[in-house]
């Protein structure tokens, strides 16, 4: 799994960021984690919807399109939710512990960039 940083408007938005691209990495996601530190996130590629079944903490979700633009934001999703979708244009998702990232800076159309 690659690890890098996520940028917004030229500034570090999240670090460290794990980039899950392989089948098993994407399948596992954040399952089994007890918590995440402030600023940390995981990008799950080829992912337009997620669940929080089996999670032990609430998460924030940033759904991105092919060009890494924000499609939708879902905040403070509690454990045990069956399906949260980013819509038809969502091609990847950024997951973080609820409140760990400055998601209030983002809106649909905001451009993010991963460097790893």
Domain ranges of the chain: 2-115
The DSSP bridge partners found for residue 95 are 42, 61
73, pLDDT greater than 80: yes
Across the chain, what does the average pLDDT equal?
94
Q: Are 48 and 67 in contact (CB under 8 A)?
A: no
Q: Are 92 and 64 in contact (CB under 8 A)?
A: yes
Which H helix or E strand runs over 6?
Answer: strand 2-8
**pLDDT tier, 35 (very low <50, low <70, confident <90, very high otherwise):** confident
pTM of the shown model: 0.94
Lowest mean per-residue pLDDT among 19-28, 70-79, 86-95: 19-28
32, pLDDT greater than 80: no
Phi/psi-derived region of residue 28, left when phi > 0, alpha when psi is between -120 and 50, beta in every other case? alpha
CATH code, 2-115: 2.60.120.1140
């Amino acid at each position: 799994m690659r690890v890098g940083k996520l940028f917004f408007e030229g500034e570090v938005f999240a670090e460290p960021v794990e980039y899950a691209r392989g089948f098993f990495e994407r399948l596992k996601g954040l399952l089994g984690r007890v918590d995440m530190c402030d600023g940390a996130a995981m990008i799950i590629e080829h992912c337009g919807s997620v669940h929080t079944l089996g999670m032990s903490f609430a998460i924030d979700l940033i759904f991105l399109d092919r060009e890494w633009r924000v499609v939708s934001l879902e905040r403070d999703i509690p454990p045990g939710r069956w399906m949260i979708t980013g819509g038809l244009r969502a091609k990847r998702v950024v997951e973080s512990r609820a409140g760990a990232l400055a998601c209030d800076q983002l809106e649909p159309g905001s451009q993010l960039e991963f460097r790893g």
